[in-house]
Amino acid sequence: MLHVKIIDVSKEKIDLVKAQKFIASSKCGASIYFVGTVRDQNDNKKVTGITYDSHDALVIKSFEEIYKETETKFKFNNIAVFIEHIKGYAALGDTSIIIAVACKHRTQAYDLSRFIIEEIKKRTPIWKKEHYENKDSEWLKGNPIKSG
Amino acid sequence: MKIKLELYGASREFSEKNYLEFSLKEKSSINDLRNEILSFIDKNFKGNNNFKKLVESSKFCSEQNNIVADSYKITKDQKIGIIPPIGGG
């Protein structure tokens, strides 16, 4: 069971309660919530916020592909996966991504959650522009996208 | 052919709009488009080296939302997305 969405923060909020409701199941004994937030420092620069940019269609496609790969890689039954990522401006401490997973056992939930975030980092077309205390801003360099 | 190049991430610095437009010869490839963008950088940003490196390290996305190879032939007017190195999450 999968839910994926890009949240445009100028229109709506990313919400952990929604994730909790989606993955709730009596078939699952373990849930993991990964929540990415904006931190105050990067490369010795004081960060005040991040603007996230997204190729929405490719992002959704990559989330779905990653989920499909978990089915063949892990072969877990009765899992629930909720992935939402924001686009737009996020201030310090704001949530940028929620990955919520529910599985039968805890080891499965840890494995699944870790796999999903690592794959998102490699192949999901989302970009960050950091804003600094001195009013400068900069797009982070990132890594060339890994397709497929 | 007219190509509307949709800009993402750092490539948004190339224009105040969300896109750039290029005219390409029939059956041009992604590599030809990349060269056109590099010429655009030369002309409009005095060959800005960071911008050129960005273009060289970017992938491209077809209108069907597939990442396409440099040899991919563009056969009609369409939108192509430039996909600079990524860093979300």
* Residue A26 pLDDT: 85
The answer to whether A132 and A78 have CB atoms below 8 angstroms apart is: no
Residue A99 class from Cβ within 10 Å (0-12 exposed, 13-18 middle, 19+ buried)?
buried
Give the model confidence (pLDDT) of A86-139 as tens digits: 999 999 999 999 999 999 999 999 999 999 999 999 999 999 999 999 889 999
The whole-number pLDDT of residue A72 equals 94
Say yes or no to pLDDT of A142 above 60: yes
In A46-104, which residue ranges form alpha helices assigned H by DSSP? 56-74
Percent of chain B's residues with pLDDT above 70 = 98
Cα B86 from Cα B89, distance rounded (Å): 10
Residues of chain B with Cβ-Cβ distance to A83 below 8 Å are: none
- Listed residue (A114, A104, A106, A6) closest to A52, CA to CA: A6
- Supply the pLDDT for residue A143: 87
**Angstrom distance (rounded) from CA B48 to CA B57:** 14
pLDDT at site B89: 67
Q: Does A1 touch chain B (CB under 8 A)?
A: no
A80-91 and A2-8 as β-strands: parallel, antiparallel, unpaired? parallel
**Better-scored residue on pLDDT, A146 or A37:** A37
What confidence score (pLDDT) does residue B12 get? 97
pLDDT averaged over chain A? 95
Q: Nearest by CB to A144, from B6, B59, B61: name it.
A: B59
Residue with tokens 């600094």: A132
How does A19-34 read in b/e, with b if 16+ C-beta sit within 10 Å? beebbeeeebebbbbb
Instruction: Measure CB to CB from residue B8 to each of A117, A124, A125 and give the nearest one.
Output: A125
Which chain A residues touch B61 with a CB distance below 8 Å?
55, 58, 125
Structure tokens of A65? 């592909």
The answer to whether the CB atoms of A117 and B13 lie below 8 A apart is no
Query: Which has the closest alpha carbon to A142: A130, B18, A97?
Result: A130
By Cβ distance, the residue of A127, A144, A148 closest to B8 is: A127
What is the pLDDT, as a whole number, of residue A99? 98
Please say if the pLDDT value at position A147 is more than 70: no
Say if the Cβ atoms of B86 and A52 lie within 8 Å: no
Counting as low any pLDDT under 50, the low residues of chain B are none
A131 reaches B (C-beta below 8 A) = no
**Of residues A124, A125, A123, A111, the one with CA closest to residue A73:** A111
Residue with tokens 């990955």, as numbered in its chain: A99
| Cβ atoms of A116 and A70 closer than 8 Å | yes
Are A139 and B8 within 8 A, CB to CB?
no
Percent of chain B beyond pLDDT 90? 91
With an 8 Å Cβ cutoff, are A144 and B85 in contact?
yes
pLDDT given for residue A145 in this prediction: 83
Closest chain A residue to the Cα of B9, Cα to Cα: A127
